[in-house]
Amino acid sequence: MGNQVLLACGMAAGPLFTIAYLLEGAGRPDYTPFRHPVSSLALGRTGWAQTVNFLCAGSLSLIFAVGLWRVGPSRWGAVLIGVWAVGLLGAGACRTDPVGGYPPGTPDQLPHPTRTGALHDLCSLIGFLALTAACFVCAWSNSPGWAVYSIASGVLFASTMALAGIAFGRHQRWVGFGGLIQRISLTIGWTWQTLLAVHLLHT
């Protein structure tokens, strides 16, 4: 597989993942994007669609990591993107627990996480940390402007994802905005990966 194809997979992963979860969420009458996490779309009768979305995004990002290893600015960056990809694959393979009262009829939060729910959270956390680290590692591989953008992306991605976690943990002030904050965080992270791929494709 040519290097350009490998890098193009990294460019496509984020937009495809985002479009898929937006369409899936729009078709769920009891799902509230401002409140509920993206992972909750894997629950319910049509949950398979979000599971496939995770697996596709993880696979595309893993292929991108191979391209980064071949031509990218940092081998460590390629490894971290690979870990991020494996985290996505694990999050897709291990379905999340209900949260925020979705699906209807479930409690706001389970008293004890299930094994698959705990694995989903662990895979997600590992992936988020890896992508954050990748932003910092790849910051110095280009112009000063790219360095500033990458560092800012890493800081904002990590902080907004942490804030989303607080909201999903039922913090009174943020509970109604967990889904929105998570979407902002995912947009920051996916945009950084997409722009990294675009830059490498044009160098």
Percent helix, strand, coil in the chain, to 5, is 75, 0, 25
Number of domains in the chain: 1
Q: What is the pLDDT of residues 185-195, one digit of tens each?
A: 999 999 999 99
Domain extent, residue 189, equals 3-201
Q: Per residue of the chain (203 residues), what is the pLDDT tens digit? A: 689 999 999 999 999 999 999 999 999 989 999 999 999 999 988 999 999 999 999 999 999 999 999 987 789 999 999 999 999 999 999 999 998 888 988 887 777 889 999 999 999 999 999 999 999 999 976 688 999 999 999 999 999 999 999 998 876 677 789 999 999 999 999 999 999 999 898 87
Q: Which helix (H) or strand (E) holds 5?
A: helix 3-26
Residue where the block lists tokens 């996916």: 190
User: How far apart, in Å, are the Cα atoms of 132 and each of 98, 99, 128, 129?
Assistant: 26, 25, 6, 5
Structure tokens at 158: 């990590």
115-150 pLDDT, tens digit per residue, is 999 999 999 999 999 999 999 999 976 688 999 999
